[in-house]
Structure 1
Amino acid sequence: MKLRSLLGMPGLRLEVVTGEDELDRPIRWVVTTDLIDPGRYLRGGELVLTGLVWRTDPADSEAFVAALAGAGVSGLAAWDLTLGAVPDDLTAACRRHRLPLFKVPEDVAFATVTEEVVRHLSGARAADLTALLDRHRRLVEGTGLGAVLDLVGHCHVLAPTGRVVAGPPPADPAALAAAFLGAPRLPHHVPDQDMSVFAVSPADTPRVADWFVALEGDAAGWPPERHTMAGELAAIVALERARLRADDRASQDIVTAAFSGDDLPDPDGLAPPVVAVAASAQGPLRPGELRTVLSEVVPGPRPVVGLLDGEAVALVPSGGRDVAAAVQDALGLLAPGLAGTRVAVGVSGAAAPAGLRGAIEEARHARRLAATRPSPVCVVRHEELATHVLLLASVPDDVRRMFRVRLLDPLHSYDEAHGADLVRTLETFLRNSGSWTRCAEELHLHVNSVRYRVQRIQDLTGRDLSRMEDRVDFFLALLV
């Protein structure tokens, strides 16, 4: 209940002395005190009742009200039986600290005020419980999250890309999503929209693989009852999300069948042409979480996503869309939550249902190529496979690593020991097609210095840079 509700209780007949513009503050509990500094016994949100026994001179009012304001109480109700009035110094102190002040009629006992407020608070909690049970009932009956959120009001469920899962669209979904992904801790208040965001899943779930709930107001000032309601709402959303994941098994069966070349168990949702998308992750994302992320970033309402040897693979009806661009844009939105994670994605060309196995292979080759690049998030299209790098993408990681180490480690070690810059010289020499002059100009060296460095490279590696075969080997080693 709010302070304003006190004025509607005819048995109390409270009058506002000051603070008319602060009457929407919530009341968490009611406390009676005669201590001049009761702050250590208050938790915030209380309606404080006092008979001013603590007041010996006007200066005491400032100390008392400052203690209440510092504790975050919602309002003060007072009466001085000796004076037969509310002292002006108390009113002035409440006005300075923006603390609403009520006058209690002389014939109304503080016990009456306490009893009436507690009765209303208990009734509100009972109503919250009833609404909670009703939300559960509606969800079980299959009416979905929309009906649940209608009961809560001013509430939104969103994916980490800013996609609205349920509820009306907020003013700026992308800003809420960015705040959710980047917040040091949750719940987190977003001041520009006066919304607090909560994770749906347990704390060990990466936020990029979760949904979140946005509720109106700053959670730091909520009473315990509202925090409980937010937690229950998150649990309900998690239940609905788990229900929707029942489709994961069917999607996995379709991906497995497509890769095996078997007939699809349910091909109706894959209107040709179809694009395959393969993704891998290095970092904290587990395979199931990677599949969730891929489900979110590929376009379309119900993508078919499964796992193949630790990779997540999606089959997406292209519908004339640029699937690679859509995935790149969506991963860009998730960037605040991908710290410490490298994501490599490959996208195939469009294929008919009979060609899905080839499309998946093409996407996986493109994904391997993306994994060789230094960018933390890299999307490679199938068009890039029509070059020499296709050969590298198809070679196992350990083979590529051994190839690079054998050729380049002697140069890296020499550079670290002598500051010789041999690796950079090799890159420049190959980029200039073995031209001593152009290489020297680019490195700002004399040609003889370049010749000396190249000779040192050959001595350390046992290779001859005048031979095309050795140049190609060095070029590929630098590429991987």
Structure 2
Amino acid sequence: MFTVESLLADESLGLRVLVPGPQGALEEPVAWVHNTELPDPSRYVRRRELVLTNGLWDDQIGAAGFVANVQRAQAAGIVFGLRPERPATPGELVAACRDAGVPLLEISATVPFTALSEAVATRYAEERQGALVGMVRRGEALATAISRGAGASGVLRVLRRDHELPLAVIDRMGRLLASAGVELDAGQLHTVAAGLTRRPPPLELDLGGAGRAALYLVGAVGDVDAALICLRPVRELTRVEQDALDQAARFLSLEVARQQAVQAIELRFASELLEMVLSGGSRAAEVPGRLRAFGVDPEGPLAVWTMAFRGPDATLPGLAEVVGEFFLATGVPVVVAAGSQDVVAVLSWRHGEGEAAPLAERLVSAVAERFPGRRPVLGLGGVVQGPAGLREPLVRSRESCRALRRGEDGPAVRTYAELGTHRLLLGTQDADTLRTLADGVLAPIRGHDTRRGGELETTLRAFLDHDGHWQVTAAALRVHVNTLRNRLAKITELTGRDAARTADRVDFFLALQASDMA
């Protein structure tokens, strides 16, 4: 926007400063000019307009009252137009403006107000034209940066050619995609990520020591995927800066959509790799080529790790990306595939077996930091030489992870061998065999529970979990011990197995474990 000072520079307007107002007032932007002779124009004058007047109100109100009304409207100042009948600006008006801190200018009687209005209109048109030209030019530069693969960093470079603003691009997972002129810590990144999950997302956030930041939302497919952050509150940004930030955010949406498409393709290829490993047969021949496509040497040692979160909600969007970033940062070639209940990583492993656990613990810590409140667990499937033996460590790592996920507490990292002999035995069976084993023992119990709304299976699980202790099990179930005995007697009647006998108790235990693994 133009300023009073820019109007003073136009000698054809014949303007003269009588009262400059507060320091810097003449450099403040002017919204428009408003010609009025009303004693109280405050209802009609917009904020930062320049009031033009010949003083015809002075028979209705004093100069101090008029100036107070202009000041209440937050006008940019007053221009007093001289006339042959009044060749000098009234001294009381000069004094009132000086007392109120309102800028006062004088315009020659030979220059009509229309000349000033035309000058303002010309400047306004030039500014708008300049802004539009700048937007078009910047749009071409942004499009070029995106098409050449410059990414989010390239967008920020283009934006900062015109506006030296502190900028960052942060996605909804709290990842810093690009920055320029600003450094943010992990807590500030998390604050932005948390803000992007709100509905609707905020347009401004308090980032603590970094101050308040304006957010310009970046969406790829109908959702908010990231934000362009400017480390300044919105009120401190000019309209031109706001327009430029909004334009850059729209181009960032294209970049985010491109990245999501690439990630989707990579995840699909990675998921197909797991299917090839599990199915075997002719598809197994495709595994080496698929590993090479992800930078993993198929001829070297390979390890399989599986990650999820404790509890029924095993995975979250973005977990696969976080796991991939961790291995990228540590320099380990990896293929990361996201399943419905877990995330599997097949990685080149040229270290000793003893080095796996420390790195796994670091991965768990990194994921926990990125997903506050969640409890990540990681199953280690072991190391094999070449792709031919990948099926066994894949099954082992997934089963290890599944067991850890069901536990409320305990270690976050485990190998398959640490789970117990029964899991080693059951883990060698396919899903159909496990279901057959479980149904052969548990079907009568489950049928009774379905028909009668009973709790026989829950009772059996509790009895085994508490090592067959009657009083402890009854207390855990909050029932009388006689009720527990009646339920177990019913289980014996339905299945022909007695939970008090060791052999039958083993059958029940294996059936329940097989059911959980199937």
Whether contact under 8 Å (1:279, 1:343) holds in the other structure is yes
Distance 1:438 1:250, change over 3 A: closer
Letter in 1 for 2:487: I
Q: Which residue of 2 aligns with 1:167?
A: 179
Tell me, what secondary structure is at the counterpart of 1:269? coil
Q: Which residue of 2 aligns with 1:269?
A: 295
How do 1:311-350 residues align onto structure 2 when only pairs under 5 Å count? 313-317=344-348, 322=358, 324-335=360-371, 348-350=381-383
Q: Which residue of 1 aligns with 2:78?
A: 78
* Equivalent residue in structure 2 for 1:148, among 155, 165, 168: 155
Whether contact under 8 Å (2:323, 2:367) holds in the other structure is no
How do 1:459-470 residues align onto structure 2 when only pairs under 5 Å count? 459=489, 461-462=491-492, 464-468=498-502
Q: Which residue of 2 aligns with 1:212?
A: 227
Distance 1:122 1:427, change over 3 A: same
Q: Which residue of 2 aligns with 1:189?
A: 204
Distance 1:280 1:471, change over 3 A: same
What is the Cα deviation at residue 151 of structure 1? 2.9
Q: Which residue of 2 aligns with 1:386?
A: 419
Give CA deviations for 1:157-204 in whole Å, capped at 9, x if unaligned.
Answer: 234444432234843242343223222333532333232234432364
Tell me, what secondary structure is at the counterpart of 1:328? helix
How do 1:33-432 residues align onto structure 2 when only pairs under 5 Å count? 34=36, 36=40, 47-51=48-52, 56-57=61-62, 58=64, 61=67, 64-68=70-74, 76-81=76-81, 83=90, 102-107=103-108, 109=113, 110-111=116-117, 112-153=119-160, 154-168=166-180, 170-183=182-195, 184=198, 185-186=200-201, 188-191=203-206, 192=208, 193=210, 194-202=212-220, 204-205=222-223, 210-219=225-234, 222=237, 225-244=240-259, 245-246=261-262, 249=265, 252-253=268-269, 256-257=272-273, 259=277, 260-262=283-285, 263-265=288-290, 266=292, 269-270=295-296, 273-278=301-306, 292=321, 295-296=324-325, 299-300=328-329, 304-306=335-337, 313-317=344-348, 322=358, 324-335=360-371, 348-354=381-387, 355-369=389-403, 372=406, 381-383=414-416, 386-387=419-420, 388=422, 391=426, 406=446, 430-432=464-466
Distance 1:312 1:123, change over 3 A: same
Letter in 1 for 2:50: L
Distance 1:428 1:283, change over 3 A: closer
Distance 1:274 1:253, change over 3 A: same
Distance 1:424 1:37, change over 3 A: farther
Distance 1:124 1:298, change over 3 A: same
Distance 1:314 1:37, change over 3 A: farther
Give CA deviations for 1:345-399 in whole Å, capped at 9, x if unaligned.
Answer: 7554444443444443334334544554579xx9764447633457489758999
Q: Which has the larger radius of gyration?
A: 2
Whether contact under 8 Å (1:37, 1:64) holds in the other structure is yes
Distance 1:347 1:238, change over 3 A: farther
Give CA deviations for 1:62-94 in whole Å, capped at 9, x if unaligned.
Answer: 5554454xxxxxx6132344636766656666x
| Counterparts of 2:124 and 2:449, CA distance in 1 | 77
Distance 1:336 1:240, change over 3 A: same
What is the Cα deviation at residue 214 of structure 1? 1.7
Distance 1:346 1:433, change over 3 A: closer
| Counterparts of 1:24 and 1:384, CA distance in 2 | 75
Distance 1:476 1:230, change over 3 A: farther
Give CA deviations for 1:25-79 in whole Å, capped at 9, x if unaligned.
Answer: 7x5943536485767885xxx63111367893545655554454xxxxxx61323
Letter in 2 for 1:235: R
Whether contact under 8 Å (1:255, 1:304) holds in the other structure is no
Distance 1:125 1:187, change over 3 A: farther
| Counterparts of 2:511 and 2:397, CA distance in 1 | 22
Tell me, what secondary structure is at the counterpart of 1:466? coil
Letter in 1 for 2:289: L
Which residues of structure 1 form unaligned runs of 5+? 69-74, 96-100, 416-421
Whether contact under 8 Å (2:380, 2:400) holds in the other structure is yes
What is the Cα deviation at residue 329 of structure 1? 3.5
**Alignment length (residue pairs):** 444
Q: Which residue of 1 aligns with 2:9?
A: 10
What is the Cα deviation at residue 134 of structure 1? 1.9
Whether contact under 8 Å (1:189, 1:218) holds in the other structure is yes
Q: Which residue of 2 aligns with 1:418?
A: none
Q: Which residue of 2 aligns with 1:20?
A: 23
What is the Cα deviation at residue 294 of structure 1? 5.3
Whether contact under 8 Å (2:308, 2:315) holds in the other structure is no
Give CA deviations for 1:412-464 in whole Å, capped at 9, x if unaligned.
Answer: 9678xxxxxx9998777545533457668x7799xxx8532422432554574
Give CA deviations for 1:296-333 in whole Å, capped at 9, x if unaligned.
Answer: 56654785344668965443446767554454344434
Q: TM-score, normalised by structure 2?
A: 0.63
| Counterparts of 1:84 and 1:347, CA distance in 2 | 89
Percent of residue pairs identical: 17
Letter in 2 for 1:195: A
Distance 1:175 1:471, change over 3 A: same
What is the Cα deviation at residue 471 of structure 1? 4.6
Letter in 2 for 1:261: A
What is the Cα deviation at residue 140 of structure 1? 2.7
Tell me, what secondary structure is at the counterpart of 1:231? helix
Greater mean alpha carbon deviation, residues 273-282 or residues 124-133: 273-282
Give CA deviations for 1:259-312 in whole Å, capped at 9, x if unaligned.
Answer: 25332242572255544455679889998x775565456654785344668965
Tell me, what secondary structure is at the counterpart of 2:107? coil
Q: TM-score, normalised by structure 1?
A: 0.67
Which residues of structure 2 form unaligned runs of 5+? 82-88, 161-165, 278-282
Distance 1:438 1:130, change over 3 A: closer
Letter in 1 for 2:176: V
